[in-house]
Structures are given as structure tokens and as C-alpha cells.
Amino acid sequence: MQLKPAFTLKQIADLIHAGFSGDPDFLITGLNEIHMVQRGDLTFVDHPKYYAKALNSNATTIIINKEVECPEGKALLFHDDPFAAYVSLVKRFRPFEASQNMISPSAQIGEGTVIQPGTFIGNHVSIGKNCLIHANVSIYDHTVIGNNVIIQSGSVIGADAYYFQRKPEGYRKLESCGRAVIEDNVEIGAMCCIDKGVSGDTTISFGTKTDNHVQVGHDTYIGRHCLIGSHSAIAGVTRIEDDVILWGKVAVNKDLVIGKGAVILALAAVDKSLEGGKAYFGQPAVEARRAWRELAALRKLPEIIEKLR
């Protein structure tokens, strides 16, 4: 999430009651969790295992729970609970806004777009021209939808990221301040859920089509002209490149890349990044021809065992 206007290191330190290392006038231009950081962003780290990753990331300001040497060109904020400090900033700069109307007065809706009865459109939503939003769709705050988009009944666009930190007393929610972005000519089936980014964007690119009951996790990018079959589940921070096909009930783990033109056959479970231009099947997914050979060999096992008796 970008901060407009930017804040200084001293201003942020005062807001979260933190010590700091660096120029008090050092500018902070955005908030981002570690997977999405870019120059100017503030992020947080609260476990020694990830100190190096955060300190060496593109983030230029880091909230950390240990006083360490400040890397050159960056700034540090020292706080006993970086997670809670970060969440407090999210809540301050992107607070929850209760809605009083089914379609928020702050929503922008393009010419020729049809909104069917029972649809909820939240605050600061942007919807382009000639879209068709069917009954009982929920479009959360700050969602961006392009032109010529069709969304079938019951789908939810921009729900919170499924992102929690486990503590002895239970789970703490990492509040979401990102967006869901649906580009031109996309079609979303019925009862789909497209979660917003934790701090960046979840993007469904030009011309992609999803069947019913599809789940897309936070900060995931789905490329142009993809087909996503029914009951498929795509975890967060995954990148699916252009022209990929996921057939029914495909499960894709988090932080993976599926290359351009890959085809994932029905019921496959993807647990690692896959090259483009190939077909995959199985649990875990492997190249389809290999999977068929393995299944054929497996079917012969009873015969082989019988012969060995």
C-alpha cells in the first residue's frame, strides 16, 4: 500500500512508540509485507530466522525487535512487537469503513455496466464500462475492475487475505491493506473468491476465465488468457503466467510459479514451480506422460507379486 503523502521516519516512530536508527526525515512511501516490498516501503521482522531476509530486502525501512546495525541507505524502527506495530499502521492508514448502502457513493461505475439486484459494492471501488455483475456478488473496498468483465452470482471479490501469525495465546490476524484487480475481458464464475493482497495486489489479467467455486489467494498473479476450472484452489503469492490451463479441482501451493502455456490436469496437486509448455498430472504433479507410466506400472504390481509367490 502506498502512503500519500509520504511519512518521515520520526513521524512513524512516534505513531508506534518506537526507537529508530537513521535520518529522522528519511521518507517512507509505502507499507508492504516481505513478499511484496519495494524501495521506499516499510516492512517488519520479528524472528531471527528472517532478520537477514528483511534487512537485505528491497524494503528501506524495517520494524525489528532487536537493535542491530542499520544497513546503508535504510532506516530501522525498534519495537518489542513488530507484528503488532505494523498492524497498527495498517489500521491507521487503511481503516475499515462501514457501508451504509448496497452501492457505496464513493464507487465509480462505468457507462453501460449492469449491476443486478442484491450486489454489494464497497467503498472506493472502481468498475469499468460494459460489465455485468450478477445478483448477490460482494465487491469489497478498493477493488479495481476493468471493462467488459462478467462476474456470476455469489462471488466475492477482495475479501481479506488468509494470513495469521501463531502465538501461544492463539492466532493474530495480519490486516489486509491491498487490493483485488480484475483486468478487462475477465469472466469470474459463480461462488468464486478472489482475496485481496495483504499489502499489494491480487491480479487476474486480461481475458482470463474462471469456472465456478474457484479460490484465489492473496497477492497471487494470474496472467492473460488463462482458464481456471471449477473447485480449483490457488494459494497466496503464486504467479501463474499467460495461457495456463488449470482443469477441475487443481490445488496449487503458495509461492510458486507456473510457466506460460502449462496445462494442469484435473485433480492434480502442485507443490513446486512448473515449467511452461508442458502438461502435468498427479499428486504431487509431474509431467503427465510420466504420471501415466507410473499408474500403468502400479496396476501391474498385483500381477508381479502373484508371480513371485
Domain architecture of the chain: domains with CATH: 2-93 (3.40.1390.10), 108-289 (2.160.10.10)
Residue 36: predicted pLDDT: 87
Backbone angles phi, psi at 290, to 5 degrees: -65, -40
Q: What is the pLDDT of residues 117-143, one digit of tens each?
A: 999 999 999 999 999 999 999 999 999
Ranges of residues in the chain with a pLDDT under 70 are none
Residue 287: predicted pLDDT: 97
Q: How far apart are CA 222 and CA 185, in angstroms?
A: 14
Q: Which residues are catalytic?
A: 218
Residue 35: predicted pLDDT: 85
Grid cell listed for 79: 519495537
CB-based burial label for 17 (10 Å; 0-12, 13-18, 19+): exposed
Peptide bond into 284 cis (omega under 30): yes
Peptide bond into 48 cis (omega under 30): no
Task: List Cβ<8 Å contacts ≥24 apart for 137-145.
Answer: 140/180, 140/196, 141/97, 141/104, 142/94, 142/179, 142/196, 143/179, 143/180, 143/181, 143/182, 143/196, 144/179, 144/180, 144/181, 144/182, 145/182
Q: What is the pLDDT of residues 152-167, one digit of tens each?
A: 999 999 999 999 999 9
Residue 129: predicted pLDDT: 98
